[in-house]
Chains A and B, each alone.
Chain A
Amino acid sequence: MDKYIKKVYKALSCHKAEKKRIINDLRSDIMVAIEEGESFEEIEERLGTPTDYAREFNENLGVVKKSNKRLFIGLGCGLILAIICFIGYQYLTTPKAILLQDSKIFNAQEVFDLSDKAVSYLTNKDYTGLESMFSDVIKQNTSEEEIFGVYDQLGEIGSFKKISDRQFVEYKDKSGVSAVGDIVVEYEKRTIIYRLSFNEDLQIIGLYMR
């Protein structure tokens, strides 16, 4: 009888006080039945296995079974792990930008000087000078008409007045590291913003103007 009761106690999923209450009633029921002449075998047959007996209680008390609890904990841990992995992946693959002044790869002043030089070639429509600053890939894929044709689309700009702003960042993504910046140049008739990208060898790998 004690063995049966112990097994029921183990299979119950509710809190301790409730378990005690159930076990008290179970013990009382068995004692009464024995008193009334039932054998323990007969009682056991009537009550079912300890697991069945406990399951009925678990279901009707609305408590989650232990195996389910473990499953939920497992799922919870899995989910948290997946979130951590996702955040980690995002962190590693998301492009990161820092101010060029804080870069350990680029010398900010060097990049500023080169960008000023590029702006002066652009303003003076000196393609040979500009081309000497390009990376090989850009050299092969860009023509003089392409670059200076853009000026025609921008309309009359007038003569150069000054460089009014220059902001560069060090930009890291899957393809590597570059220095990217906008140079705001004031001309007599309008302002043009040049966006320049330099690779680690300080060659121009991107040029855009608006």
Chain B
Amino acid sequence: MNSKYEGLLKKGVLEILVLQLLSKKPMYGYQLILELKEMSHELFTLKEGTLYPILYRLEDDELLVSEWSQPQGKSVSKKYYKITDEGKDTLINLRELWFRFSNEVELILGDDK
């Protein structure tokens, strides 16, 4: 498969996936990469250079906030990303859109008679 088109198709859903994962719990960057990889059975294996620009955009749009954790004992301080209320509202709308979107796309793709 042409990896350019595969990448383009995947890119469109990254924001909604990130918002969904962060709606469960705050996470730091690398943690998000690992969770996404595992949950998608390695279909979504993101590089830092792909994930962070998405996090920055969402943060700039106030759908996320980032905060550094307090170092505890030997553990180092980590930068956690946390969903905001506005982020939660956006996620609800995007989820709705996604279900309609995927339904319609499937209908069109299923029509191969």
Contact = CB atoms under 8 A, between A and B. Distances in A.
A61 B75 CA distance: 31
Given A33-B30, A57-B53, A28 B77 contact: yes
Interface residues of B, number: 17
A25 B53 contact: no
Interface stretch (A16-24, A73-81, A199-207): A16-24
A56 B49 contact: yes
| Majority DSSP secondary structure for residues of A touching B | helix
A31 B28 CA distance: 12
Contact of B52 (A31, A48, A55, A57): A57
Contact of B29 (A28, A54, A55): A28
Which among B29, B30, B47, B49 has the highest number of chain A CB atoms within 10 Å?
B49
A22 B54 CA distance: 12
A60 B30 CA distance: 17
A59 B49 contact: yes
A83 B40 CA distance: 56
Contact of A24 (B49, B53, B79): B79
A25 B52 contact: yes
B43 interface: no
A28 B53 contact: no
Contact of B48 (A18, A31, A35, A47): A47
B56 interface: yes
B48 A26 contact: yes
Interface string A30-63: 0111010000000000011000011111011100
Interface string B46-79: 0111101110100000000000000000111111
Given A29-B29, A32-B28, A33-B30, A60 B75 contact: no
Contact of B79 (A25, A33, A55, A56): A25
Interface in B60-112: 74-79
A57 B47 CA distance: 9
Given A25-B52, A28-B29, A29-B30, A56 B47 contact: yes
Contacts of B29: 25, 28-29
Contacts of B28: 28-29, 32
A61 B56 CA distance: 9
B100 to A, nearest CB: 27
Interface string B7-18: 000000000000
12 contacts: A18-B56, A21-B56, A25-B52, A28-B79, A29-B30, A31-B78, A35-B74, A35-B75, A53-B48, A60-B53, A61-B53, A61-B56
Across the A-B interface, give the 6 residue pairs with the lowest CB-CB distance, nearest first: A56-B49, A60-B53, A57-B49, A31-B76, A28-B79, A29-B30
Given A22-B52, A35-B74, 12 more contacts: A24-B79, A25-B48, A25-B79, A28-B29, A28-B78, A48-B47, A53-B48, A54-B49, A56-B48, A57-B48, A57-B53, A60-B54
